[in-house]
Amino acid sequence: MASAKNTGFNTAAVVAYGLAGLIFVYALSLFIEGGYNASRNKELQTKIYSAGISEEASAQLAVQQALLDEQPRFIDQEAGVLCLPIDTAMERVVVKAAE
């Protein structure tokens, strides 16, 4: 009868250490990703809540508000295309709908 030889290779231990290593690497990657996300969120919050509006942005807002508030004028008088402030246009729609 042939006897089993002991080769010195412990398969169960190699598998167990391999699984433990994989679990460790996965946990480490989650830890690093969490730190990255926390720092990214902190940076985004700092950018959102910092210093207010720049001069360029406030100038652009002023231009846009002036367009909204301007007096009625014709864009193309022959075609009957008119530019109205939004409040005036809404009032005209309400009056026309009430007729």
**Tally of structural domains, the chain:** 2
76: burial class by Cβ within 10 Å (0-12, 13-18, 19+)? exposed
Write down the pLDDT at residue 38: 93
Mean pLDDT of 68-93: 84
Do both 61 and 84 map to the same domain? yes
Please, are residues 82 and 74 in contact by the beta-carbon 8 Å criterion? yes
Q: Identify the H or E element spanning 90.
A: helix 86-98
Do both 61 and 93 map to the same domain? yes
Mean pLDDT of 52-62: 83
Write down the pLDDT at residue 86: 80
Q: Considering the domain boundaries, does residue 62 fall inside one? A: yes
Residue 40 pLDDT exceeds 60: yes
Average pLDDT, the chain: 85
Do both 60 and 43 map to the same domain? no
Q: Considering the domain boundaries, does residue 33 fall inside one? A: yes
Q: Identify the H or E element spanning 19.
A: helix 11-49
What is the residue range of 25's domain?
10-50
Residue 97 pLDDT exceeds 70: yes
Q: Which residue has the tokens 């996300």?
A: 37
pTM above 0.75, yes or no: no
